[in-house]
Amino acid sequence: MRDLHWDGYLNARDLGGLRTPSSATGSTICGRVARGPRRELLTEAGWRDAQHWGLTSIVDLRCAYEIGAREGDPEVRPELIATVSVVNAPTEDQDDPEFRNVCFPILDSPEYWRHNWRILPDLVLGTLTAIASSRAGVLVHCSAGRDRTGMISALLLSNAGVGPADVVTDYAESVRAMAGMQSHAPTGDRQAGWGHDEVADWIARTAPIVEEIASDPNAAFAAIGAGPDVRTRLRRLLTE
């Protein structure tokens, strides 16, 4: 039930349905937050699928220059998506010298997550605040829906009390879904040429990083500067 089959749209999942003691139902609530890749991949049928799911708003994690249709993207009538509000809340400033130097070599790895919120905490806080301010039915996406979206999803899930092992599984699903696929990111993506063996090796090597971060959400949110109000609103979005 967590996999979202929106036409034209790979690597889309509902963050609901994961076990957590924070919810009276025992799991995060479906239909509240979805994660995915660049929205320009959605066909008209895909937009209807998303709206049937309950899509009301989008928080786009990409830099402004990454946004927009590209060759091969489906044509969609503007009126079909006019009711969906879009907020651009990038997690990265790719012109920042330290971010470029430290993070560009590892942008496809959760190794960069802590560096992102150490170097650019205000941007990551802005992203989380935008999500916290969204109505239920929000899609969070970047280019591939794997790295930036993976980072934010890990924060959302761990803050909602989802166990580290389930956070790791959610991250790994995106690695598998996007292996061998073009991400349309502005930087090179070595995973676009990967097969099963490379994916398995990668997940084995990166799972401990995701698990460690998900095991201590307090440290992550403190480093980002996200206070109790933002954390409570994010938790309620997934659990109440």
Strands 13-14 and 33-36: antiparallel
What is the distance between the alpha carbons of residues 166 and 181, in angstroms, rounded to a whole number? 24
Q: Where are the domains of the chain?
A: 13-239
Predicted local distance difference test score (pLDDT) of residue 195: 85
Contact criterion met (CB below 8 Å) for 237 and 131: yes
Helix (H) or strand (E) run with residue 199 in it: helix 196-215
- CATH number of this structure's domain 13-239, picked from the four choices 3.30.420.10, 3.40.50.1980, 3.90.190.10, 2.40.50.140: 3.90.190.10
Per-residue pLDDT of the chain (240 residues; tens, 9 = 90+): 699 999 999 999 999 999 999 888 899 999 999 999 999 999 999 999 999 999 999 999 999 999 999 888 999 999 989 999 999 999 999 999 999 999 999 999 999 999 999 999 999 999 999 999 999 999 999 999 999 999 999 999 999 999 999 999 999 999 999 887 775 666 667 877 788 899 999 999 999 999 999 999 999 999 999 999 999 999 999 999
Dihedral-angle region of residue 31 (phi above 0 means left; psi in -120 to 50 means alpha; beta otherwise): left
CA distances to 38, 90, 104, 143 from 67, in Å: 8, 11, 19, 9
Predicted local distance difference test score (pLDDT) of residue 194: 80
Looking up tokens 């879009």 gives: 86
The per-residue b/e assignment along 18-54, b for 16 or more CB within 10 angstroms, e otherwise, is bebebbeeebbbbebbbbbbbbbbbbeebbebbbebe
Exposed/middle/buried for 8, CB within 10 Å: 0-12, 13-18, 19+? middle
